[in-house]
C-alpha cells in the first residue's frame, strides 16, 4: 500500500529535510510513501561529490546533500521521484532496491518506445544518442569508464539519475527523469562526475510527452516494482 503524493514544484532543501525527517522518525507501521515533484533550478552534490565537477554554477544554487553520488541538476520539466520505503519490511537490500528503481525507469521509457540502458559501474539510465529506439544490447564490455569518451563504441546520453540514502533501513532521496527541460545547466557540471557526458531529455530525442503523463507512468511502475 502506497501513499502517493504529487507535490508540484517545491524548493529542494525543505523537501530534502522533510523526507529525511520522514525516514528517521517513521513508526514501524507507517505506510510507504512516494513523493513526486519538480524542483526550481538547483544543483545538488552527493556525499562523494568533488568540487572540480562543478564547472560554473553561476546563478543556480548548489546544495550539498547526504545522498550518494556526485553532482546533478534539477529543474522544471524534470520528474523527480522520492520513494520513502522501509526496506526491512519490503524484504530486500539496497542493491535490489537500486535495480528496481532503474527497472521502473526503463519501463517508463518503454511506454514511449524509448530503450533505456544500464551501464556497468554508473547508476542511472542512458539512451543511445544516434537511435534511442534501438533494442540491441550495448557493445560488449561497455562500462562507466567509456561514458563521455570521444572514442567510445557507443554514444550515450544520460536521461535519468539516481541518488539514494538509507537510514534505519528506510530510504529517501531517489531518482530524476528528464522529460522536457532546459538542458543548458548540465553544461555547467560534469554530470554525475563524468566529463564529456551528454545529458538528454525525452524532448531532445523526439518524444512528445508531458511531465505529468511521465510522472503518472513512473509512479505506477515504482509502486508495482517496489512491492515485496
Residue 7 structural domain: 2-225
**pLDDT above 70 as % of the chain:** 100
Query: In angstroms, what CA-CA distances link 58 with 9, 41, 189, 193?
Result: 22, 11, 11, 18
Instruction: Read off the C-alpha cell for 95.
Output: 542493491
192 is catalytic: yes
Walk along the chain (228 residues) and give the pLDDT tens digit of each residue: 799 999 999 999 999 999 999 999 999 899 999 999 999 999 999 998 899 999 999 999 999 999 999 999 999 999 999 999 999 999 999 999 999 999 999 999 999 999 999 999 999 999 999 999 999 999 988 999 999 998 899 999 999 999 999 999 999 999 999 999 999 999 999 998 999 999 999 999 999 999 999 999 999 999 999 998
Residue indicated by cell numbers 567509456: 146
Instruction: Read off the C-alpha cell for 165.
Output: 540514502
Taking Cα atoms as reference points, which of 153, 159, 7 lies closest to residue 78?
159
C-alpha R_g of the chain: 17
Write the DSSP assignment of 183-197 as a string of letters.
Answer: -GGGGGB-GGG-TT-
Give the number of other Cβ atoms within 10 Å of residue 87's Cβ.
Answer: 17
Question: pTM here?
Answer: 0.97
Task: Report how many domains make up the chain.
Answer: 1
Q: What is the CATH number of the domain that holds 207?
A: 3.30.930.10
Which residue of the set 37, 170, 192, 223 is catalytic? 192
- Give the torsion through C-alpha atoms of 15, 212, 175, 217, to 10 deg: 130
Average per-residue pLDDT for the chain: 96
pLDDT of residue 1: 79
Amino acid at each position: 500500500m502506497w501513499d502517493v503524493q504529487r507535490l508540484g514544484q517545491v524548493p529542494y532543501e525543505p523537501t530534502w529535510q522533510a523526507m529525511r525527517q520522514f525516514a528517521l522518525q517513521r513508526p514501524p507501521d507507517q505506510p510507504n510513501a512516494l513523493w513526486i515533484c519538480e524542483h526550481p533550478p538547483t544543483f545538488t552534490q552527493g556525499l562523494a561529490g568533488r568540487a572540480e565537477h562543478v564547472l560554473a554554477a553561476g546563478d543556480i544554487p548548489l546544495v550539498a546533500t547526504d545522498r550518494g553520488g556526485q553532482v546533478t541538476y534539477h529543474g522544471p520539466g524534470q520528474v523527480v521521484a522520492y520513494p520513502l520505503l522501509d526496506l526491512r519490511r519490503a524484504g530486500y537490500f539496497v542493491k535490489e532496491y537500486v535495480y528496481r528503481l532503474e527497472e521502473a525507469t526503463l519501463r517508463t521509457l518503454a511506454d514511449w518506445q524509448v530503450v533505456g540502458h544500464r551501464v556497468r559501474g554508473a547508476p542511472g539510465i542512458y539512451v543511445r544518442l544516434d537511435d534511442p529506439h534501438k533494442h540491441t544490447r550495448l557493445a560488449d564490455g561497455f562500462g562507466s569508464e567509456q561514458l563521455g569518451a570521444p572514442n567510445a563504441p557507443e554514444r550515450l546520453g544520460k536521461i535519468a539519475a539516481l541518488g539514494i540514502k538509507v537510514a534505519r533501513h528506510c530510504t529517501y532521496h531517489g531518482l530524476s527523469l528528464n522529460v522536457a527541460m532546459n538542458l543548458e545547466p548540465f553544461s555547467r557540471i560534469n554530470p554525475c562526475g563524468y566529463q564529456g557526458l551528454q545529458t538528454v531529455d525525452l524532448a531532445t530525442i523526439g518524444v512528445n510527452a508531458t511531465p505529468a503523463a511521465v510522472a503518472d507512468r513512473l509512479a505506477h511502475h515504482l509502486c508495482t516494482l517496489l512491492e515485496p
